[in-house]
Amino acid sequence: MNSFRQPERRRRDGRINTLMLLAAALLLFVLSGCAALGAPEADTFNKKVGAGYVTIAAAADIAVSLYNAGKLSRDEATKVEATLNEAVAALGMAQTVAAGGDSLGASQRLAATIMVLTELKRYLATKQGSPT
Amino acid sequence: MNPLLIDALLSAAVRMAQLVAIHDHMKAEGRTDLNAAELVILQGEATAAIGGLHAAIG
């Protein structure tokens, strides 16, 4: 009986794996700046800050999906939330520093925030394929 | 198909569409950079998304 179901299960698993791969690819695409499809290339300070906010929003969306799917524990999701809140605050601080005329300081804060978001992106990507 | 993964795909597509819409608005006004108001909108979207995560965690 089970042997009759195996091909169907394999096909279903294959579809889910394909979908997960597609989701991971789209996440990578969104978090990478979307330049390939004509979305804005982050070539100015404000565009980089804007891309940072979009990255934060996309990461939060993905974290919700991962949490609901049981691939992110409550503790992990809480840490992701805290990191995202800190990233929003850091981007706001970078804007304030830039408005004050310290472009170097603003760029350094922005670069540090982008580095944190890049690491968070990698972390969420690893969670897409692993149970908690 | 896993509806949660479809959610993730749709969310990513919506974020991308928001970014493209703001970029198009910027170009329509003949600007080459985002202004403060557009950054406030994007910041609000990020904050709302984090709020969604907070609500999901409970």
A17-30 pLDDT, tens digit per residue, is 555 555 555 555 55
Contact residues for A68 (Cβ-Cβ < 8 A; gap 6+)? B4, B7, B56
Would you state the pLDDT for residue B51?
97
Reduce the DSSP state of residue A40 to 3 states and report it: coil
Closest chain A residue by Cα to residue B45 = A57
At B17 the pLDDT is 84
Assess contact for A94 and A109: CB atoms under 8 A: yes
Amino acid at A116: V
> With contacts defined as CB-CB under 8 Å, which chain A residues touch B3?
none
For residue B38, list chain A residues with Cβ-Cβ distance below 8 A: 46, 50
pLDDT confidence of residue A78: 97
pTM value is 0.77
Burial of A102 (0-12, 13-18, 19+ CB in 10 A): middle
Cα–Cα dist A82/A77, whole Å: 9
Please give the interface size between A and B, counted as residue pairs whose CB atoms are below 8 Å apart.
Answer: 141
B46 and A49: CB-CB below 8 Å?
no
CB A88 within 8 A of CB B47: yes
**Min Cα separation A95/chain B (Å):** 9
Any chain B CB within 8 A of the CB of A33? no
Residue located via tokens 């005329």: A101
Q: What is the interface pTM, i.e. ipTM, of the complex?
A: 0.85
The verdict on A58 touching B (C-beta cutoff 8 Å) is yes
Q: What string of DSSP letters covers A89-127?
A: HHHHHHHHHHHTT-HHHHHHHHHHHHHHHHHHHHHHHHH
Percent of chain A at pLDDT above 90?
Answer: 48
